[in-house]
Structure formats: C-alpha cells, structure tokens
Structure 1
Amino acid sequence: MTPTPSSPSRVQPLRTLYFVRHGQSQANAGGVTMPHADIPLTELGRRHAQALAALLPPAPARVLCSRFVRAQHTARPYCQQLGLEPAVHPLLHEFETLDPDLIAGMDGEQRQPIVAGYWAEGDPHKRMGANAETFAEFAQRVQRFMDEDMPALPDGTVLFGHGMWAGLLAWLLLGFGTDSTLEMRHFRRFQLGLPMPNGALYQLQELSPGHWRLRADVEAMRVVMAVE
C-alpha cells in the first residue's frame, strides 16, 4: 500500500518563531507626521499590547523587537510580566518609505496620495528624501534577516515588529522577487491584502531545515481585534 502523504498542517515543526505586529500607532490613526522611529502607540495601541501579553508564549526563548518605539512599547507589557528586557534587533524596523521632512505637518489623509504615487511609480531604487530607504534596500534588509538570523534563532523566539516588514517576509518566503517595477507593484497589492491588523500574531514554523511556513494565529488576532 502506498503511504498517504502527511497533511502539511500535521507536520511537527522543528522550530516555531512568533511574529507580532505592533499595536495601533499614531500614524495608523492618521496622526501628524513624526520621525519614523518616534511614532508612539495610541491609547488603543497600548490596550492591544496589554491583550497580547496574555496570548504569547509564557516562556519565550528570546524576545527581539524593532528599534522603533511603537514595537518596543508593544513588547513592554509582555516583557514586564516575564521580568525580562527585549533585545533590539537592527533589521526588524519598518520600511522607511518617505523622509518625514518631506511630509512635515501632514496627517494621514494628506500623506496618502504621496504614498500612493510612490508605489504606483514602482521604482525599487527611488529614495524619497535623505531619511528614507529605497525599496531595494528594504528588501535586502528583510532578506538578510532571513538568511543570517532566522537559521540561528531558537525555538520559541518572539519578534515584535511591523506590518509591511512581515508582508515582505511572507512575499519572499513564497519565492517572489523585488527587483523590478512590476514585482514592487505586485508586492504592494499583496501586502495591502494580507490580513495584518495592529496586534496581529503570526507563527513562523520551520517544517524542515530552511523551509518555513507562515501561519496566522487567528484566535489570538480575534481577541486583540475585539479590544476597544
């Protein structure tokens, strides 16, 4: 009798990493432009962080977070209840799409057409001001994390980061490219359609050496999204 292949959902992962998107930030709520790293959580975002603290692993192997304060403040309630300090990771911060100096004083509605125009142009090497990254640099940063850091992270590591960063990780895990205008535009459509609300929780499961599966923790996300 020919054996029946195991269902992918039943494969016991070699390792599981937990990725958390930060709670709602002032920028998510349409607030006035601030430096990328300094954007704080809203009051709702702080409640998202409190809810997440009860949903994450009770004994993480490591806790890593972005250098941006919204990710660090999302990690804070979880780390405080465990009595530990998260380690700031230099590759986990969000895509610095626009130089804040170019959009100073603008709110979310005013920023939207500028952001839309950037993605519509789809130039991976265009830099929108001195304090911004190119899309190519952003992609290289996420790829570097996949190549250099993911293989060494212990089972049970918790990562606090950002939505577009996680979207690009998913895109690269699927095998898509980032080098051309078409690929950049397609990524943007993919990223906007990926369920990644504030406080989202995903699991990165290594099914065999170097082969990863990304799964949403839907029940945890429902709990966080229900916070008011």
Structure 2
Amino acid sequence: MSKEVWLIRHGESISNANLPTLHPAKSELTDKGHRESEYLAEAFTRKPDLIVVSPYIRARQTAVPTISRFNPIPVVEWPVYEFSYLHPEKYNGTTGEQRWPEAMAYWQRMDPLEKEGGEGESFAELLARVHALDEQLANTPESFIALFSHGLFLRAYLWMHLSGFREANRHTMERYLNFSRGMPMPNGSILKVRLEADGRLSFSPFDTDHIPEKLGLVDE
C-alpha cells in the first residue's frame, strides 16, 4: 500500500530572521513564522492519520495550528531535527551572520566524521538519521502522514533518494552541500511525497501556494 507524506519545513524562526539565537533547538518562530503556521494548517484538505514533529521548538510550534485544527489526532516525536553541525555554544547570543565564518570553515574541511567542537553533529550522523526516517516511514501503518521538520534535514532526505548516495564520505558530503545550496526550500513550504510499497518515491515541487505572504498578497 502506498503512503502520502507531507514533508513540511517550519515557519520563519528567529534564526532565519538573523536574530540572536540561544541554542539550535531553542530558536522560536517569529510573528511571521506563526502566521505561516496558520496558513499551513489551512492547506490540508483532509485530516492526516499521523502528525510527526521534530523535538526542536520551531517545528513543534509550526505544527500547533494543524494539531489544533484536527484534534484529536495522534502526534509523535521522531529524530527529524535540524542538522546542527556547529557546537551548540556557538549559537548562544549569535546571529546567523555572525556564525557564517564558522559554518564556512566547517564545510571547507569536508570531514564527514567531524563533530565540530566535540558536540556538533557529524555528516555521517545526519545520514544515519535519514536512514532511520526511511525505516520509520516504512514501518508506520498510517497512510497519510504530516511531518514537521527542517530545511537541511529534509534536503538530505530528498538528496539521498534522488542521488542514490548512502555512504558518508568527502565526495558525498560535497555533493550534498551543492544540492542543498541549489535547492531552495522556503519556510512553511510543503514537499508532498508518495511512497510506494516497493520503495519507489515520487514527489511534487515545494508548495508555498498556501502562504499569501510569499505571493505578495499580504502586507508586512
């Protein structure tokens, strides 16, 4: 039996808005991000069988209007959190612009096993979590799943399926970086995926039609 999975990127966070962040897991939504979350809830034309959320607060906040709209509905937490490759302390009170030199240095080293500063997540660990998501989706009986996650993680999922790469090495890390930089995934966007029983995957373009602000229809 095939499954439909909506892979949803969280709404705009304070980190996305280049405001100071305390921790990669604690970047909350901006006012705009909360509006995007409301638009997301209205994008559903039928009730999901299951809602999956990342443990990071911005993804959980994004899911709240959808959970409220369809309550009662099963909600589970899976490890679909963002790829946070820098040491968490480097987020404390810094903006994305201030962290950029550290991020560039990390990618220039291209070490798939590096845990930056001893506590950042390695590229190999990211791919392991993507593998785990495949297994969780395959073993979950629900046929319509809404999954609230993050840009780098969801790009890794899409890249792995499009490229066929599974091993974490310097070559695949470089290929993933190029893919993620060339694949825009706006805040609040939906990637609608169909998983066939034989493991085949089909998907639509990133959908933002439900967000008027992205269409210039709502004044800031």
Give yes or no for TM over 0.5: yes
Structure 1: how far apart are the matches of 2:74 and 2:30? 21
Aligned pairs (5 A) from 1:57-136: 57-84=45-72, 87-136=75-124
> Does the 8 Å contact 2:190/2:208 carry over to 1?
no
SS at match of 1:105: coil
AA matched with 2:102:
I
Q: Once the 2 structures are TM-superposed, how far is the Cα of residue 179 of structure 1 from its aligned partner?
A: 1.8
Distance 1:86 1:193 in 2: 35
Distance 1:28 1:86, change over 3 A: farther
- Gaps of at least 5 residues in structure 1 are 1-12
Structure 2 residue runs of 5 or longer lacking an equivalent are: none
Name the counterpart of 1:6: none
From 6, 23, 32, the equivalent of 1:35 is 23
Match of 1:209 among 187, 198, 202: 198
Quick one: percent identity of the two aligned structures? 30
Structure 1 residues 98 and 57: CA distance shift in structure 2, 3 A = farther
Is 2:21–2:95's contact at 8 Å kept on the other side of the alignment?
A: yes
Match of 1:150 among 123, 137, 145: 137
Is the contact between residue 65 and residue 86 of structure 1 (CA under 8 Å) also seen in structure 2?
no
> Aligned residue for 2:157?
169
Is 1:189 equivalent to 2:156 in the alignment? no
Q: What's the CA shift for 1:143?
A: 1.0
d(CA) in 2 for partners of 1:85 and 1:119?
Answer: 40
Q: Which has the larger radius of gyration?
A: 1
AA matched with 1:204: V
TM-score, length basis structure 2: 0.89
SS of residue paired to 1:120:
helix
Q: Normalization by structure 1: what TM-score?
A: 0.86
Indicate conservation of the 8 Å contact 2:7/2:192, yes or no. Answer: yes
Contact 1:33–1:100 (Cα < 8 Å) also in 2: no
- Judged with a 3 Å threshold, the aligned counterparts in structure 2 of structure 1 residues 57 and 93 are, in CA distance, closer, same or farther, namely farther
Q: Distance in 2 between matches of 1:31 and 1:113?
A: 16
Instruction: Work out the number of aligned pairs and report it.
Output: 215
CA RMSD of superposed structures (Å): 2.0
1:139 matched residue in structure 2: 127
**Are 1:199 and 2:188 an aligned pair?**
yes
Assess if the C-alpha contact under 8 Å between 1:199 and 1:225 holds in 2: no
C-alpha distance in 2, partners of 1:208/1:28?
Answer: 37
2:14 match: secondary structure: coil
Aligned residue for 1:182, secondary structure, equals helix
**1:152 to partner: Cα distance:** 2.4
DSSP-derived class of the 2:48 partner = coil
Residues 188, 208 of structure 2: 8 Å contact kept: no
